[in-house]
Chains A and B, each alone.
Chain A
Amino acid sequence: MRFSDAITRCAGLLAGLLVAVPAVVAQEPEALTVVTWGGAYEAAQKTAVFVPFTEATGIPVEVKRYSGAIGSLRKRAEAESWDVIDMLEADAITGCEDGLLRKLRHDEILGGLDRAVRRDFAPTRLRPCSLPQNVFATVMAYDDRAYPGLKPTRIEDFFDVEEFPGKRAIHRSPDVILEWALMAEGVPAAQVYDLLSTDRGLRLALRRLEALRGHIVWWEDAGAPARLLEKGEVAMASGYNGRFFAAAQDRGAPVSVIWDGRLIGTDVWAMPVTTDRPEAVRAFLEFAARPEVMAGLAARIPYGPARKSAMEWIGLHPESGVPMRDHLPNAPQHGARMLVRDSVWYSHTEAIRERRFEAWLEKGGG
């Protein structure tokens, strides 16, 4: 195993170099446009993935930012010559079905595609247009200063403004918050998506959200919830676990994460059909999918690597020395109540959820 791994890695590296060599000869190699989410996440990616990639292949990386919406893929990809995009898996499924993303040759990228490789990625799946890169959690966090006494511990507390007063920062999207609303109604995680598939389920979730009307600050940028908490503008927020971790670790912000009811999602790499450099993209994906590269990212921001083989590479945070495994979404001490996003369902129900959510918003604003 080890030996063959090494071989495939060398082969991949060689392929990358082969792609890179003509570019080097041309003196001014054209930069690869990688689109990602900004903030602490982008900073970690830069150190762990982009810079080492350029060092290894000579291909410079130009970073562009977006807020994850599939709409921006339609509008901006061609104009800004996007080459690789960091996406939520559900969006990648939609993009793939709508013909916005190019199909990936996983066997070439991963140097062969046998059962061992698939098992290494399980439970995430190698879908036609996407390469899983990391596993993140959407969690709730609170401002320590807001609750000096009794502290929120459960999803139910997020919806309880009487016991836990204060503004809530919530992603302006039907994602996550509807799942939480049903969990707060006592629906077991395993049944959440079944119930949300019915009209009654959507109605109940929005009814639960009604309890927060007038207490919500909507956010769109993934870095916002941590900032809002830090500035004391909200008392609780929904957001990605890595961002809250970065705020607390790097900036010493008084932010505590509640892992109860966390939603586990998969983040993937995808290639828009409009790219004119598929070979360079493949070299990038080959590099980014290496276990040690994945582990390098996880050491800087606590998003779990998509490959199990990367877990053993994860040690301490390079600057703060925090043991990172404890902060990964799938660490066992975070409690049993969690929900894994059903990306296919997400992708196919976006329209209906969006419609119901917007209608709810129009009824009386946040």
Chain B
Amino acid sequence: MTSPASSGQALTPPGRPGHPAYRAGILTLCAIGVGTLASLAAIGLTEAVFWLNDILLIAPRARVQLDAQGYLVPVATVLVPVLGGLVVALVLRHLSPVHRPLGPPDVIEAVQFERPLPPLRAGIASTLAAMVSLGAGASVGQYGPMVYLGAMLGGLVRRLRLGVPNLPAISVACGVAAAIATAFNAPIAGLVFAHEVVLRHYSTQSFAPTTVAAATGYVMANVVFERPALFLVRFDGVEHGHEFALFAALGILAAGLAILFMRLILLVSARAAQSSLPALLRPAAAGLALGLAALWLPDVLGIGKETLRFATIPGAFAPGELAVLVIAKLALTALCIGFGFAGGVFSPALLIGILFGALFWTAIDATALVATSGVAVYAICGMMALTSPVIGAPLTTILIVFELTRNYDITIAAMVAVVFSNLVAHRFFGRSLFDVQLARRGTDLSKGRDRARLAALPVSRFCAESPIIGATGQDLEDLRARLDRSAWSEAFVTDPQGRFAGVLDRQAAGTTWDEALRAPARRFDETTSVLQAMQALRGFVGDAVPVIDSRNGVLIGVVSEAAVIEAYLDVSAALRREENAVL
């Protein structure tokens, strides 16, 4: 039997890891370095967006001060998102080699398949586009770009080739953890997010540096820059036991809304790609719709910090107003993201969720059938129950509530809503918007990362080095002789043009090619993955399977059954090593 020609890029060879002290040192330095950079970048992005919001008259605090200047504010409301959209389209077209904004799905894909992230230039252009989008008030989120920015900085470590196993994935996770820790002022959530969404496993080797990076982010945010907690809420606890049933119901309803939200984003994105509107004008068109809507509903502009707060105050919105805002924000976010503004879905999900939670409470309160503990807890439950399925991270969401509000009672309530919401949305939609987006690009993570990795690995990479190959233009007996001398029991035959003709068995009778050849029991093509190969080999008896180019029938190579099994074992072993690595 022959061994695979090459073990492939996707499989990390165990190699010769350095001394444990060396590895520990590298991991620590990497965690602190990446953590500091990612944290500074997150703060920088936040500040840049604040500044832009201020000078571009998106922030209410800037708008009100120019209220007396006649048409200035309304004109800015429409023009700023339109021009912002134009700038975003130009930045992505001319500065980014991939011509699209990058986000968490790209990070997940890179980490799960041990690939490098898209080129640095694409990341910088995407961050710039996100900054302009957010600054110009587009209805998109800031955390997606922040996660990408952190990951991008972590991704730089890969270039250093430091010889520590799994380091590229860990440093990317460090960047993500620090960015979230800083952005939300929530180090525990940052740490868990990096594991739940990006790494998707818990090993000591990655847990320790990620924790250090998250703590670094926290130190930068809290000690160095003294940023306040994001969303302090005063709440004295859930007063009635029956309310937990209401939280669960809210969770289930929020899941429905979350599914609608995610489907709408996917639908608009798909439709936008087919539309006749030139890509350069698409974000501007979304900006125009947003600006016009904002003349009437200023709450839809930007991240909506003020609206988030209002939703926790009883009576701040009339019930009709809440319903209209939920729908408007949902539709405009799908429009902005689908039409090419750069930004995430997290912040809009928070806003839609909190308004929905407030609406739910208003409805319950109006019936006067059951006593409640006030709007705040329902608003927050709604907020988290809607967000959790979108990012596919229930544990992170629960911890974010805890760290944002610093309120234990609200966290317990939100936990119930989150878990029900996640359950429903996972069942009827998928683990998260990111995963479904990835699946549409051909990367399905829904059955676990081992399967995804096997599915991403083409079996053609494992072709045997020296199979017995003949061609119908040659002499049949010569080939028989070569086969007899070899360890193989089958030879693979092509026609003179290289197209696959059939299999010649050692025992095959016949004197002409036509009599001697038989069709292969299994055949693979250039797209067959190791996973498909494993499934196809069930019940297979024989040496090897030909890999035939599906486009022209040319024989690419021959894969032995053993090579497929080895590839499978290698992937499993690599994952097992990664998931159980201590240092």
What is A's interface to B at a CB cutoff of 8 Å? 185-188, 190-191, 193-195, 197-198, 200-201, 204, 207, 344-345, 348-349, 351-352
State whether A349 and B316 are in contact (beta carbons under 8 Å apart), knowing that A186-B234, A194-B60, A200-B310 are contacts in the complex. no
Residues of A contacting B315 in the complex (Cβ-Cβ under 8 angstroms): 204, 207
Residues of B within 8 A of A351 (CB): 67-68
Q: Which residues of B are found within 8 Å of A204, using beta-carbon distances? A: 310, 313, 315-316
Q: Is B61 an interface residue (CB 8 A)?
A: yes
Identify 21 residue pairs between A and B in the complex whose beta-carbon atoms are under 8 Å apart, listed by A's number.
A186-B313, A186-B376, A188-B232, A194-B60, A194-B61, A194-B305, A197-B63, A197-B306, A198-B306, A198-B310, A200-B306, A200-B316, A200-B317, A201-B306, A201-B310, A204-B315, A204-B316, A344-B65, A348-B66, A351-B67, A352-B68
**Given A198-B298, A200-B316, A207-B315, CB of A191 within 8 Å of CB of B309:** yes
The interface residues of chain B lying within 8 Å CB-to-CB of A198 are 60, 64, 298, 306, 310
The winner among B63, B65, B298, B305 for most chain A CB atoms within 10 A is: B65
Q: Give A348's nearest chain B residue, CB to CB.
A: B65
B:305-350 near A, CB below 8 Å: 305-306, 309-310, 312-313, 315-317
User: How far does the alpha carbon of A200 sit from the alpha carbon of B64 in the complex, in Å?
Assistant: 12
Specify the chain A residue showing the minimal Cβ separation from B64.
A197
Chain A, residue nearest B229 (CB): A188
B313 & A187 in contact (Cβ 8 Å cutoff): yes
Q: Which residues of B contact A186 (CB under 8 A)?
A: 233-234, 312-313, 376
Q: Are B60's CB and A190's CB within 8 A? A: no
| A345-B65 in contact (CB<8A) | yes
Question: Known pairs A186-B234, A188-B228, A195-B310. 9 more at Cβ < 8 A?
Answer: A186-B376, A188-B232, A194-B305, A197-B63, A198-B310, A204-B315, A344-B65, A351-B67, A352-B68
Contact A191 B64 (CB under 8 A): no
Cβ of B376: which chain A residues have Cβ within 8 Å of it? 186
Q: Which A residues are CB-close (under 8 A) to B310?
A: 195, 198, 200-201, 204
Segment 369-410 of B: residues with Cβ below 8 Å from A: 376
- Nearest 6 Cβ contacts at the A-B interface: A348-B65, A197-B60, A197-B64, A197-B61, A198-B60, A186-B234
* Complex partner residue of B228 from A190, A200, A344, A345, CB under 8 angstroms: A190
Once bound together, how far apart are the Cα atoms of A251 and B297, in whole Å?
A: 54
Q: How far is the CB of B46 from chain A (nearest CB, A)?
A: 14
Query: How far, in angstroms, from A201 to B305 measured CA to CA in the complex?
Result: 13
CA distance A200 to B63 in the complex (A): 14
B524 to chain A, nearest CB (A): 61
What separation, in Å, do the CA atoms of A198 and B68 have in the docked complex? 14
Q: Is the interface of B mostly helix, strand, loop or mixed?
A: loop
- C-alpha gap A135/B61 in the complex (Å): 24
Interface centre among B63, B310, B312 (most CB of A within 10 A): B310
Query: Within the assembled complex, what's the spacing in Å between the Cα atoms of A147 and B234?
Result: 26
Q: Are B65 and A194 in contact (CB under 8 A)?
A: no
Q: A197: which B residues are within 8 A, CB to CB?
A: 59-61, 63-65, 306
Q: Which residue of B lies closest to A193 (CB)?
A: B61
Residues of B within 8 A of A185 (CB): 313
1/0 contact string of B188-230 vs chain A (CB within 8 Å): 0000000000000000000000000000000000000000100
Contacts of A187 in B (CB 8 A): 309, 313
A residues near B60, Cβ cutoff 8 Å: 194, 197-198
A195 to chain B, nearest CB (A): 6
Nearest CB of A to B385, in Å: 22
Query: Which residues of the other chain, B, contact A190 by a CB distance below 8 angstroms?
Result: 228
| Cα(A4)–Cα(B409), bound, Å | 58
Contacts of B61 in A (CB 8 A): 193-194, 197, 345
Residues B306 and A194 in contact, CB atoms below 8 Å apart = yes
Contact across chains for B313 and A352 when beta carbons are under 8 A apart: no
Residues of B within 8 A of A201 (CB): 306, 310
What separation, in Å, do the CA atoms of A198 and B310 have in the docked complex?
Answer: 10
Q: How far is the CA of A191 from the CA of B304 in the complex (A)?
A: 12
B63, B232, B306, B376, most chain A CB atoms within 10 A: B306
A345 to B316, CA, bound (A): 23
Question: Measured between alpha carbons, how far is A317 from B169 in the docked complex, in Å?
Answer: 65
Give the distance to chain B from A338, nearest Cβ to Cβ, in Å: 13
Interface residue ranges of B279-311 to A (CB < 8 Å): 298, 305-306, 309-310
CB distance from B285 to the nearest CB of A (A): 27
Q: A345 — which chain B residues lie within 8 A by C-beta? A: 61, 64-65
Q: Which residues of B contact A194 (CB under 8 A)?
A: 59-61, 305-306, 309
Minimum C-beta distance from A257 to chain B (A):
23
Query: Bound state CA distance, A195 and B232, in angstroms?
Result: 15
The A-contacting residues of B in range 150-189, CB under 8 angstroms, are none
Check A195 against B306 for contact (C-beta < 8 Å): yes
With both chains docked as a complex, state the minimum distance between the C-beta of A240 and any C-beta of chain B, in angstroms: 26
Chain A residue at smallest Cβ distance from B314? A185
| Max chain B C-beta neighbours (<10 A), residue from A197, A204, A351 | A197
Q: B residues 40-93 with Cβ under 8 Å of A?
A: 59-61, 63-68
Residue of B at shortest CB range from A182? B313
| Chain B positions within 8 Å of A352 at CB level | 64, 67-68
**Roughly how many angstroms separate A33 CA and B63 CA in the complex, as a whole number?**
39
- Per the bound structure, the CA–CA distance linking A198 and B67 in Å amounts to 11
Using Cβ atoms and an 8 Å threshold, which residues of chain B touch A191? 305-306, 309
Across the interface, do A349 and B305 meet the contact criterion of CB distance under 8 Å?
no
Shortest distance from the beta carbon of A265 to any chain B beta carbon, whole Å: 18
Least distance between B67 CB and chain A CB atoms (Å): 5
Q: In whole angstroms, how far apart are the Cα atoms of A344 and B59 in the complex?
A: 15
Cβ-defined contact, B65 with A349, below 8 A: yes
Q: CB-CB < 8 A to B234: which residues of A?
A: 186
Chain B residue nearest to A192 (CB atoms) is: B309
Q: How far does the alpha carbon of A190 sit from the alpha carbon of B316 in the complex, in Å?
A: 19
Chain A neighbourhood of B233, CB < 8 A: 186
Most buried by A among B63, B64, B68, B315: B64
Q: How far is the CA of A193 from the CA of B63 in the complex (A)?
A: 12
- From the candidates A193, A195, A348, A349, name the one contacting B309 in the complex (CB within 8 A): A195
Interface-centre pick from B61, B66, B234, B317 (highest chain A CB count, 10 A): B61
Query: In the bound complex, what is the Cα–Cα distance between A194 and B313 (angstroms)?
Result: 15
Which residues in window 80-110 of B have CB below 8 A to A?
none
Distance in angstroms between the alpha carbons of A94 and B399 in the assembled complex: 46
CB of B312 within 8 A of CB of A349, answer no
For A348, the chain B residues whose CB sits under 8 A away are 64-66
Considering only CB atoms, which chain A residue lies closest to B313 in the complex?
A: A185
